[in-house]
Chains A and B, each alone.
Chain A
Amino acid sequence: MENETDHDMHEPTSFWTKYVWSQDHKVIAIQYSVIAILVGIVALILSGLMRLQLGFPGSFDFIDPSAYYQFVTMHGMIMVIYLLTAIFLGGFGNYLIPLMVGARDMVFPFVNMLSVWFYLLAVIVLMASFFVPGGPTGAGWTLYPPQAILPGTPGNDWGIILMLVSLAIFIVAATMGGLNYVTTVLQARTRGMTLMRMPLTVWGIFMATILALLAFPALFVSAVMMLFDKILGTSFFMPAILSMGQQLDHEGGSPILFQHLFWFFGHPEVYIVALPAFGIVSDLISTHARKNIFGYRMMVWAIVGIGVLSFVVWAHHMYISGMNPMFGYFFATTTLIIAVPTAIKVYNWVLTIWHGNIKLNVPMLFALGFVSTFTIGGLTGLFLGNVVVDLPLSDTYFVVAHFHMVMGVSPILVVFGGIYHWYPKMFGRMLNDTMGKFHFWGTFLGTYAIYFPMHYLGVLGVPRRYFAYENYDFIPESAKDLNAMISVMAIFVALVQLVFIYNLIWSLFKGKKAGDNPWKATSLEWQTEHTPPTHGNWGKELPVCHRWAYDYSVPGYEQDFLPQTFTGQPEGQKA
């Protein structure tokens, strides 16, 4: 909005209104990020425990099959929803959208505050499931009925109910946040900030938010209907079934209906995580290669195209579900088509780097790491998108390797890159460079060492979801050695993250002072009067945007970057 609005005039003064019940998008962003990182650490520990069992079966008494499935389920759900979705939209979205489009805050600050508290509530409900009788659900992160709510599945009593309730609360939180992000981008851009001048980060988060607003209802629908089946005894998803020798009251429900609903959410969810990552990486690469982004318009349309296409590919997760086989052809086709806009983006990143004045700063390392892992992960997606190739591979470690490369490692590298890039703006100090480089190489090489060999395990036919691999003749000894190696690397990568956490805290007090614009970047968030930006972001006058966000190394100028607020003429043309 152009002039001051109500909330801009009232800067909070007490500790509580400033840092706890804050309506300032920057504080909310930090709250979102801190909660997401903390809950992410829980999920990281769970993955370590899983790997201990897989690498060294039988060595750890406290990991029984039930516990293992609980670890798997909670690890998956937390990482996908409560860490990645929350940190990209709630963390980066909240911090960057108003600053990058030149607004004073989100358009509905109160709803924004509610959003983060609902998110915290969802996390608390989820974490509570560790402490209820039977523990958290072990139904797998996809929570497929009928097994999710039947006896025999760990946590079928309390765990599953808390999981579903927590998801429903999370969706309410995400919707409240999403309303803000979309409306802010559409209605609160500053003068001169046309849609086609917005940084790609904003484009990515904007499109991802639209996907979230349209896809999360599907998860809500499936969660509510499953809660009905569990608590009220309805038969939405539950077929007639014998459990432990007894005929249950359910009859006639359709488990496949759940899968359709779940994946109608689940696939766009991949892009809810990926699109912000695409956007952020574009900005990191352009800034640190000191070159304008190659094919900006094409990048925008690719983001929009991927967003739209992501709604018509969901059943490629269900080739082996027993759905109508005719569907496979349609969904394989749409899945392969989505590779086109995605490939355009990869080419454009590479062409942006080409002949750039590349600065291998830590954020740039993470961005380049992303291009590498995303390309590898994307290529195996071409295998799995084809029905005939997917059928034998679907239940093996090939799939685990694929989705961890493409939607585990890749987005998290961007999260790290984004934090190293914007931390100086958020706290006024640089993160330590040495620790940052160690963190990057440890994470990048370590995760490759974890997931690359998994492709081979998959091709060997090593099945996923199994607790132990004894007495399977087709699994050679070497596969077990490889599993042990993967587990060692997984523990190593987990430990490397401690360096990152330490760096975050150490640099808060001892990091090098950053100044307003340490990366010499063009976009609006680097042009604030104060660092960190104060309440209302811009002092008295809103910035005016005069150019796109990618004017790096423009010929005719002394400095190698022109901020979006810059109005000057090239040296030669000055009057």
Chain B
Amino acid sequence: MNILTALSEKPWEENPNPQMQKAVRERVRISGLRVLLTVVSVLFFLFIVAFLMRSQYPDWQPLAEQASHPLYDKTQLWLNSIYLILASVGMQIARMSSRGTKRQLTKGALIVAGVFSSAFVAGQLLFWQQLTAQGFTVDANPALSFFYLFTGLHALHVAIGLITWLVALRITLFSDPTAHAEKINHYIELCAMYWHFLLGLWVLLFALLISKPETYNAIVEFCGLGGGV
């Protein structure tokens, strides 16, 4: 729904049947989530701008250029990325199947999504531990500080998402599937939106963190952020 559609909507128009009423309530929740995701996007956008501006100072050290750099070996990060992708896929399958009658598939996919999301958070923490063990602590260099900041905040968002996942799971497992089919679908829909967003965000952050300094310079140059702002 783009902004113009949102503005030209007429929520006051008659909704004669209760079915439509539910639709209104669901639309309200989806709008709320979209506003929230906009705020989260702005938050990370500003972090990324700060990252790019900070990358222009002489003490900047890239993270993944040489074997001695902390992110040179990206195996764990790739593995974590796969977990998150699988979680997102799980959510999507649950979303699609919850519209039909394949209830077992919905339940299974939803559980898989949660398990892989937890694996992602655990994997990120494990990678933190590996880095710290090698002496790559949060204050070692500015790029690394940003790495901890980005991954920490992102994992926190996934963890908060897991709370809503628990709510959706409870409804899916324990409520009467025939009577509450739409409610189940709606909650999974909200979770799926949030998960896809976090996957996209992770891909962006991952790509940014392992990019070459030349890439940062080019972006900064293009956006006019350089030159002693």
Contact check, B229 vs A260: say whether CB atoms are below 8 A apart: yes
A526 at the interface (CB under 8 A from B): no
Are B53 and A252 interface neighbours, CB within 8 A?
no
Q: How far is the CB of B50 from chain A (nearest CB, A)?
A: 6
B32 A324 Cβ-Cβ under 8 A = no
Contact code string B1-37 (vs A, CB < 8 Å = 1, else 0): 0000011011111110000010011011001100110
Can you give 16 A-B contacts (C-beta < 8 A)? A1-B28, A107-B32, A175-B39, A180-B32, A187-B9, A187-B24, A190-B12, A191-B12, A213-B38, A213-B39, A235-B139, A236-B142, A252-B142, A257-B53, A257-B54, A323-B229
Contact B6 A256 (CB under 8 A): no
Contact segment of B40-48, B102-110, B191-199: B40-48
Measured in the bound complex, the distance between the Cα atoms of B10 and A191 in whole Å is 8
In the complex where A1-B24, A188-B11, A191-B12 touch, is A235 in contact with B229 (Cβ < 8 A)?
Answer: no
Query: Other CB < 8 Å A-B pairs besides A5-B25, A228-B149, 9 of them?
Result: A2-B24, A108-B32, A175-B36, A213-B39, A236-B142, A249-B139, A252-B57, A252-B59, A327-B229
| B59: nearest chain-A partner, CB-CB | A252
Would A183 and B35 be within 8 Å (CB), given that A191-B13, A249-B139, A252-B142 are in contact? Answer: yes
Q: Which A residues lie within 8 Å of B228 (CB)?
A: 323-324
B36 partner residues in chain A, CB cutoff 8 A: 175, 179
Contact partner of B139 (CB less than 8 A), chosen from A108, A193, A232, is A232
Interface string of A224-263 (1 = CB under 8 A from B): 1100100011111000000000000101111011001100
Using A224-B149, A323-B229 as known contacts, say yes or no to A217 and B46 having CB atoms under 8 A apart: yes
B201 interfacial contact with A, CB 8 Å: no
Asked whether, in the complex, the Cβ of B35 is within 8 Å of the Cβ of A179, the reply is yes
B138 contacts partner chain A, Cβ-Cβ < 8 Å: yes
What B residues does A213 contact at CB under 8 A?
35, 38-39, 42
The complex places the Cα of A251 from the Cα of B28 at a distance, in Å, of 48
Q: Considering the complex, give the chain A residue whose CB is closest to the CB of B140.
A: A234
For the complex, what is the distance from the CA of A213 to the CA of B142, rounded to whole Å?
Answer: 28
Q: How many residues of A are in contact with the other chain, CB < 8 A?
A: 51
Judge whether A3 is part of the interface by a CB distance below 8 angstroms.
yes
B145 at the interface (CB under 8 A from A): yes
Query: Which residues on A sit within 8 Å (CB–CB) of B39?
Result: 175, 178-179, 213-214, 217
Contacts of B24 in A (CB 8 A): 1-2, 187
Chain B: minimal CB distance from A437 (Å):
41
B138 contacts which of A183, A221, A234 (Cβ < 8 Å)?
A: A234
**Would A2 and B15 count as touching, CB distance under 8 A?**
yes
Distance of A324 from chain B, by nearest CB (Å): 5
A164 to chain B, nearest CB (A): 14
Which residues does B use to contact A, with CB under 8 Å? 6-7, 9-15, 21, 24-25, 27-28, 31-32, 35-36, 38-39, 42-43, 46-47, 50, 53-54, 57-60, 138-139, 142, 145, 149, 153, 227-229
CB pair B46–A188 under 8 Å, yes or no, is no
Instruction: Give B168 Cβ to nearest chain A Cβ, in Å.
Output: 16
Closest to A251 in B: B59
Q: Which residues of B contact A252 (CB under 8 A)?
A: 57-60, 142
- Give the 4 A-B residue pairs with the shortest CB-CB distance, closest first: A252-B59, A191-B12, A217-B43, A234-B145
A186–B6 CB distance below 8 A: yes
Write the nearest CB–CB distance from A207 to chain B, whole angstroms.
13
Q: Which residues of chain A have C-beta atoms less than 8 A from B13's C-beta? A: 191
Known: A228-B138, A234-B145. A1 touches B11 (CB 8 A): yes
- CB within 8 Å for A261 and B46 given contacts A183-B31, A191-B13, A234-B138: yes
In the complex, what's the smallest C-beta–C-beta distance from B11 to chain A, in angstroms?
5
Closest B residue by C-beta to A232: B138
A 1-39 binary contact with B (CB < 8 Å = 1; else 0): 111010000000000000000000000000000000000
The CA-CA distance from A234 to B229 in the complex, in Å, is 21
Q: Note all chain B residues with C-beta closer than 8 A to A249.
A: 139
Docked pose: A323 CA to B32 CA in angstroms: 38
Minimal Cβ-Cβ distance residue in A for B15: A2
* Contact partner, B47, options A178, A183, A221, Cβ 8 Å: A221
In the assembled complex, the Cα of A249 lies from the Cα of B59 at a distance in Å of: 13
Which residues of B have CB within 8 Å of A257?
50, 53-54
A2 near B28: Cβ-Cβ < 8 Å: no
A61 to B153, CA, bound (A): 46
Q: In the complex, A1 Cα to B57 Cα: how many Å?
A: 53
Whether A264 pairs with B46 at a CB distance below 8 angstroms is yes
Instruction: Please determine whether B138 and A254 come into contact, CB atoms closer than 8 angstroms.
Output: no
